[in-house]
Structure 1
Amino acid sequence: MNKEILLAGFGGQGILFAGKVLAYCGLIDKKELSWLPSYGPEMRGGTANCSVCISDEPIASPLVSDPDMMMAMNQPSFEKFIGKVKSGGKAFIDSTMVNIKCSRNDIECYYIPATQLATENQITGTANIILIGKMIKESGLFSMETIKKALEKCISPKRMNLMGVNLKAIEIGMSL
Structure 2
Amino acid sequence: MGSANGLYEEVVIAGFGGQGIILAGKLLAQAAMKAGLEVTYMPSYGAEVRGGTANCMVILSNKPIACPIVGAPNALVICNKASLSKFAPRLRPGGWLIFNSSLIEDVHSVPDGVRVIGVPAEELALQAGSPKSTNMVMLGAYLGVWGHLSPQQAAEALADVLAERHHKTIPANSEALRRGAEFTASRV
TM interval, short-chain normalised: over 0.9
User: For the residues of structure 2 that align with 1:148 and 1:71, how far apart are their CA atoms?
Assistant: 18
Q: 1:153 is aligned with what amino acid?
A: D
Q: Which moved more, 1:17-26 or 1:155-164?
A: 155-164
Uncovered stretches (5+) of structure 1, i.e. residues with no partner: none
Q: Which moved more, 1:131-140 or 1:142-151?
A: 142-151
1:61 is paired with a residue whose SS is coil
Tell me which residue corresponds to 2:33: 27
Q: Is the 8 A contact 1:16 1:49 kept in 2?
A: yes
The alignment status of 1:46 with 2:38, answered yes or no, reads no
Q: Is the 8 A contact 2:93 2:111 kept in 1?
A: no
Tell me which residue corresponds to 1:147: 154
Instruction: Give the Å deviation of 1:62.
Output: 2.1
Uncovered stretches (5+) of structure 2, i.e. residues with no partner: 1-6, 184-188
Q: 1:111 is aligned with what amino acid?
A: G
C-alpha distance after superposition, 1:19-64 (max 9, x if no partner)? 0011011110111111100002332110101000011111122221
User: For the residues of structure 2 that align with 1:143 and 1:118, how far apart are their CA atoms?
Assistant: 18
Q: Is the 8 A contact 2:14 2:78 kept in 1?
A: yes
Tell me which residue corresponds to 1:18: 24
TM-score of the aligned structures, taking structure 2 as reference length: 0.88
Q: 2:153 is aligned with what amino acid?
A: T
TM-score of the aligned structures, taking structure 1 as reference length: 0.93
Q: Which moved more, 1:73-82 or 1:114-123?
A: 114-123
C-alpha distance after superposition, 1:131-175 (max 9, x if no partner)? 111111111021344222211211222211000010110111122
Q: Is the 8 A contact 1:28 1:149 kept in 2?
A: no
User: For the residues of structure 2 that align with 1:62 and 1:14, how far apart are their CA atoms?
Assistant: 22
1:52 is paired with a residue whose SS is strand
Q: 1:40 is aligned with what amino acid?
A: G
Tell me which residue corresponds to 1:6: 12
Q: Is the 8 A contact 2:128 2:172 kept in 1?
A: no
2:135 is paired with a residue whose SS is helix
C-alpha distance after superposition, 1:67-123 (max 9, x if no partner)? 011011000101111111111001110011112124544011110110233235441
> Which one of the candidate residues 145, 158, 170 is aligned to 1:138?
145
Q: 1:107 is aligned with what amino acid?
A: V
Tell me which residue corresponds to 1:67: 73
Tell me which residue corresponds to 2:94: 88
Instruction: Give the Å deviation of 1:10.
Output: 0.5
The alignment status of 1:37 with 2:37, answered yes or no, reads no
Tell me which residue corresponds to 2:125: 118
